[in-house]
Amino acid sequence: MNRISILVIFVCGLLVFSCPTFIRPDHKTLSGYPDRIMLNMPGDPATVRAITWRTSARVSRSYVQYAIAGSYVPDSSEIRQVKGEVFNRKPGFRPYKNHRAILNGLKPSTRYLYRVGNGKKWSEWIQFTTASNENLPFSFLYIADIQNYIRSDCSWVIRQAYSHFPESHFFLFTGDLVNNSAAKEWQEFYNTGGWIFSMKPTLASPGNHEFHDWGILKNFSGYWNEFFYFPQNGPESFRNRIYYTDYQGVRFIAVDGYSLVNIRNSNEIILNWLNEALENNPNAWTILMIHYPVFSCTHGRNNPRMRKKLLPVIEKYGIDLVLQGHDHSYCRGRNTSVGGDPEKASMYVVSVAGPKANTINPVTWADRAGSDMQLYQHILISGDSLIYTSWTANQKLFDSFTLVKNEKSGFNTVIETQH
Helices 150-164 and 183-193, axial angle in degrees (round to 10): 30
Q: Counting Cβ atoms within 10 Å, is residue 34 exposed (0-12), middle (13-18) or buried (19+)?
A: buried
| pLDDT at residue 173 greater than cutoff 70 | yes
* Cβ 255 vs Cβ 218: under 8 Å: no
Confidence of residue 107 (pLDDT cuts 50, 70, 90): very high
Q: Under DSSP, is residue 187 helix (H, G, I), strand (E, B) or coil?
A: helix
pLDDT at position 361: 81
| pLDDT at residue 314 greater than cutoff 90 | yes
pLDDT at position 82: 97
Total-model pTM: 0.91
Question: From CA 200, how far away is CA 159, in angstroms rounded?
Answer: 12
pLDDT at position 22: 35
* Cβ 385 vs Cβ 401: under 8 Å: no
pLDDT at position 304: 87
- The mean per-residue pLDDT over the stretch 404-408 comes to 88
Question: From CA 191, how far away is CA 36, in angstroms rounded?
Answer: 8
pLDDT at position 185: 95
- The mean per-residue pLDDT over the stretch 205-209 comes to 95
In order of 61, 63, 218, 305, 378, the CA distances from 80 in angstroms are 16, 10, 43, 50, 34
DSSP string, 2-44: -HHHHHHHHHHHHHHHH-TTS---GGG---SS-EEEEEE--S-
Average pLDDT of the chain, as a whole number: 89
* Cβ 157 vs Cβ 193: under 8 Å: no
pLDDT tens, position by position, 133-158: 999 999 999 999 999 999 999 999 99
Query: Measuring CA to CA, which residue among 403, 404, 400, 405 is closest to residue 417?
Result: 400
- The mean per-residue pLDDT over the stretch 284-298 comes to 94
CA torsion sign, 301 to 307 to 235 to 132? positive
Backbone angles phi and psi of 41, in degrees to 5: -120, 90
- The mean per-residue pLDDT over the stretch 354-375 comes to 88
Percentage of residues in the chain having pLDDT higher than 90: 72
- The mean per-residue pLDDT over the stretch 87-91 comes to 84
pLDDT at position 19: 43
